[in-house]
Structure 1
């Protein structure tokens, strides 16, 4: 069982400029205030790259390692996918597609997340927290990708 979350944010820059800006600097800006993220490794967004963070809850630290498993650029969209290799409890599976689509002279950034804990009730309980954590990205995207 997995839950699916799809958030969309319209921004003012073209999709390729936005896509190519998914770097370590943007990753740091997108980090939620809690739990604090300590970035241990950031290879980038090419297939085979690894991103590793430590989630610092104040009580215990949890390691989260993701592997980039897909990356593609077409004439209207670009995306890469990170899949959790080591995820913090209660998660058991994690797949996050970072999709940027052309939209007029601007773009739409899609955060498409599939996650699972192995327990349907727990997946549902986590949903509002996932929505809140990734919903905070919208204003950051809008600020970063204002009109050039």
Structure 2
């Protein structure tokens, strides 16, 4: 399944790119499930991000690797792909795009995911949408 959210911010796309760091990553984490950052190497090709999600009764590890990162005069993007996912996901690819929009930028979260079962893809879609919708006001506040 695919999920796309776009957020307009009042910074240049280069300024936004400079702000994509561990501090921003921690601020973007929603309240549930609580997330502990085990390892954050960055947003460049080859970097690894490892998380521990706490679902109160059990914990799940999530490890993603940045498989691509490119910059042009109009956009900067990087792609993280899940290599170790929680049991409820079987595939994860998240393209983070920072797009030039005049003197400002648009942050686009483009996610492709799969769960082990077709039906749960549809059940997880609104949950993941809400998790990423949570980011919009944070992006606007940080990059205003």
User: Residues of 2 paired with 1:109 and 1:15: CA distance?
Assistant: 8
Q: What RMSD in Å do the two structures reach over aligned CA positions?
A: 0.6
Deviating above 3 A after TM superposition, structure 1's stretches of 4 or more consecutive aligned residues are none
- 1:76 to 2:105 alignment: no
Q: 1:20 aligns with which of 18, 21, 24?
A: 18
Is 1:113–2:111 an aligned residue pair?
yes
Match of 2:121 in 1: 123
Which of 76, 101, 110 is residue 99 of structure 2 equivalent to? 101
Pairing of 1:28-67 with structure 2 (within 5 A): 28-67=26-65
Report SS of the residue matched to 1:19.
Answer: helix
What is residue 135 of structure 1 aligned with on the other side? 133
Cα displacement (A) at 1:59: 0.6
TM-score by length of 1: 0.96
Distance 1:31 1:122 in 2: 23
SS in 1 for 2:89: coil
TM-score with structure 2 setting the length: 0.98
- For these two proteins, the number of residue pairs brought into alignment is 144
* Deviation at residue 121 of structure 1 after TM alignment: 1.1
Structure 2 residue matching 1:107: 3-state secondary structure? strand
Q: Which runs of 5+ in 2 are unaligned?
A: none
Q: Offset of 1:129 from its aligned partner?
A: 0.2
Alignment partners' CA distance in 2, 1:21 and 1:49: 17
CA distance in 2, matches of 1:36, 1:118: 23
Write the distance in 2 (CA, Å) between the matches of 1:10 and 1:46. 23
Quote the Cα distance in structure 1 between the aligned partners of 2:105 and 2:12. Answer: 5
5+ residue gaps, structure 1, are: none
SS state of the match for residue 127, structure 1? helix
Cα distance in 1 for residues equivalent to 2:48 and 2:143: 25
